[in-house]
Each structure stands twice: as C-alpha cells, then as structure tokens.
Amino acid sequence: MPGKPVSIRDATDDDLAAIQAIYAHHVNHGLASFEEIPPDIDEIARRRDVAHEHNLPYLVAIMDGAVRGFAYASPFRSRTAYRYTVEDSVYVAPDALGNGIGSALLSVVIEHCTERGFRQMVAVIGDSANEASIGLHAKHGFVRAGEMPAVGFKFGRWVDSVRMQRPLGDGDKTLPE
C-alpha cells in the first residue's frame, strides 16, 4: 500500500540474507540484472564492503519492520579519470513494489554521493522495456544517455541496456576539489 512509512539506513550484517533474497529474485526472474546465478551471502557482503571501501553508500529500506529493498552506489569504472562518477543500483522486494521504496532509496543514494563529492551518477538499466526503472530514474533527474541494443542474452533472448545519467552537486560546472 502506498503511503506506508519507509525508513532508510545503512545495511548491516543482519540484513545480508534479506538483501540476498531480494537480489536472487531479480536475478532469477527479471532482466534488471544481467547476472544469471544469484550470488551467495558472502558475495553480497563482499560487494557491500567494496562500496564502503570507496566511501559509497550501501543502504536498506525498512517497511513494516523488514528489509523491503536495498540500493547502493559503486564506482562506474576502475580507471582514475572516472573517479568522480558512480553507478547506482536499486532493488525492491517483489511484493513491496509500488510503495515508493525505490524512490526513497535512490533519493538517499543521490544525497550521500553528492555529499561525498561525486559529480556524475550513471544508471545501467537492463532491458529497454524496464519502464519502472527508467521512470524511477527520470523522476530523479536522470536523462537517457544511450541504449546498447542486444548486449545481454538472458532467458533465451537478447536484452538491451539503457544508460541514464544525472549530475551530482555542481556536476561539470566546476572543477572538483
């Protein structure tokens, strides 16, 4: 039900099983992730630790006392010239869609990355028909930066990847500190 209270906080070790279950559902049933085998809890923990090593947020959304979604930012690319650009990821439990959880998570990821001096955020969206994710990102100021047709193959079909981007803070209007 839309309008239920959602709180956002940093993910803890106690959240990893719920995060893994949410992500496994999306890997097994959707095209948002191009992974085909869900990672285990140890791999989820490793990914969270990598985000933290780069001073990036890894968050969960709590609704009705349970983890109902998660989101994080990761380095966009490893080469140093990309150091001010991050990529966001947002996943919501399938039975909690439509409650504003994705929007709440993305808002906080954007806020945290802006506060930490990053200048650009990129969304890499699996499936050009993923209107929910495309709409979520557009709502938060992202614009289409391109589409890569048929770069993935999952569930017996070719899948596109949509790139969206938004500035953070001053974006490219000033030089970074």
pLDDT the model gives residue 2: 57
Q: Which residues contact 136 (CB under 8 A, 6 or more apart)?
A: 90, 102, 103, 106
81 vs 150: CA distance, rounded Å: 28
User: Which pLDDT does position 177 carry in this prediction?
Assistant: 79
Q: Give which of 160, 76, 157, 152 is closest to 113, Cα–Cα.
A: 76
Return the pLDDT at 4. 78
Residue 148's alpha-carbon distances to 13, 21, 97, 152, in angstroms, are: 36, 29, 27, 9
Q: Along the 177 residues of the chain, how does pLDDT read in single tens digits?
A: 456 799 999 999 999 999 999 999 999 999 999 999 999 999 999 999 999 999 999 999 999 999 999 999 999 999 999 999 999 999 999 999 999 999 999 999 999 999 999 999 999 999 999 999 999 999 999 999 999 999 999 999 999 999 999 999 999 999 997
Q: What is the b/e burial string over 98-122, where b = at least 16 CB atoms within 10 angstroms of the residue's CB?
A: ebbbbbbbbebbbebbbeeebbbbb
For residue 153, the tally of other CB atoms under 10 A from its CB is 11
pTM: 0.95
Q: Cα separation of 78 and 81, whole Å?
A: 9
The confidence score (pLDDT) of residue 1 equals 45
Domain ranges in the chain are: 7-167
Closest CA to 50 of 71, 27, 73: 73
Class of domain 7-167: alpha beta
